[in-house]
Amino acid sequence: MTLPQTPSFDLTGKRALVAGASSGIGAACAVALGQAGAEVTIAARREDKLEELASDMRDAGLFAQTLALDVADIAAAEDKVATHGPFDILVNSAGLARHGPALNADPGDFSAVSDLNLKGAYFLTRAVAKGLINAGKPGSLINITSQMAHVGGVDRSVYCSTKHGVEGFTKAMAIEWGPLGIRVNTVAPTFIKTALTASTFADPERSKWIHEKIKLGRVGEVEDIMGPVVFLASDASALITGTSLLVDGGWTAD
């Protein structure tokens, strides 16, 4: 018999845009795509951090170029994507969290979080899709959401609302653009060790809650997100669209 062949994880010749790439999960995703062969454009507001990452990636033999980008500035982001695209792959890791009790939620904080996490993510995804559609190309668009896009959490009503919203538009966009070969998915991590989560882990009560909820008994590392992102970006996931890949150690299995 003729044996089936495993689809390729190789991204050689693909152009990838990684937003929110100046640190943490975004930086790890940029490295992962570069190691898989993609030509990676790393984007964020902090240009100094981008240049540092780009230099390290180049020293490792990876292709990296930088792009100053504020996902919440929709007009400027759309213009930059149109100018520098089309991109075969999008990974959007730009995000903001302002946690607190729902009764104390401030409208200004709500707007700031939703402008980046939901509105910015929506229009950045659309901008990359427009470039692909105009070029007649397929592609893979990935937003980093959270396990909190599927459940609720104490003091996280604002954050949860934005991440649940991203899951919703992901499904709608996947339906619209599926016939064009454009796939739209999310990666939903549990708590990952980064500079942004350090204060959460430093709180004994919060740390205990997190460890009790994660069935595998450990919190996440940025490396735990790298494989799933390469998978969704590559032909290995060619029939996957409109879904969320939970990387949560079993948090949402309850």
Asked if 122 is an active-site residue, the reply is no
Q: What is the pLDDT of residues 87-124, one digit of tens each?
A: 999 999 999 889 899 999 999 999 999 999 999 999 99
Q: What is the pTM of this model?
A: 0.95
Alpha helices in 19-139 (DSSP H): 24-35, 47-59, 74-84, 107-114, 121-135
- Starting from the edge strand earliest in sequence, which strands make up the sheet with 64-68, in order? 64-68, 39-44, 15-19, 89-92, 139-144, 182-189, 244-247
- The mean predicted confidence, pLDDT, of the chain is 96
The Cα–Cα gap between 52 and 137 comes to 32
Q: Which residue from 120, 92, 117 is spatially nearest to 26, judged by alpha carbons? A: 92
pLDDT band at residue 78 under the 50/70/90 scheme: very high
Residue 12 phi/psi, 5-degree rounding, is: -60, 130
In the predicted model, is pLDDT for residue 199 greater than 90?
Answer: no
Read off the pLDDT of residues 214-248 as tens digits, 9 standing for 90 and up: 999 999 999 999 999 999 999 999 999 999 999 99
Residue located via tokens 């919440």: 72
Catalytic residue among 122, 123, 159, 231: 159
Q: Tell me the domains of the chain and their CATH numbers.
A: 15-253 (3.40.50.720)
What are the pLDDT digits (tens) for 3-15?
A: 999 999 999 999 9
| DSSP labels, 158-188 | HHHHHHHHHHHHHHHHHHHHGGGTEEEEEEE
CA distance 115 to 94: 11
Quote the distance between the C-alpha of residue 75 and its chain's center: 20
pLDDT value at residue 196: 76
- For 129-142, what is the mean pLDDT? 98
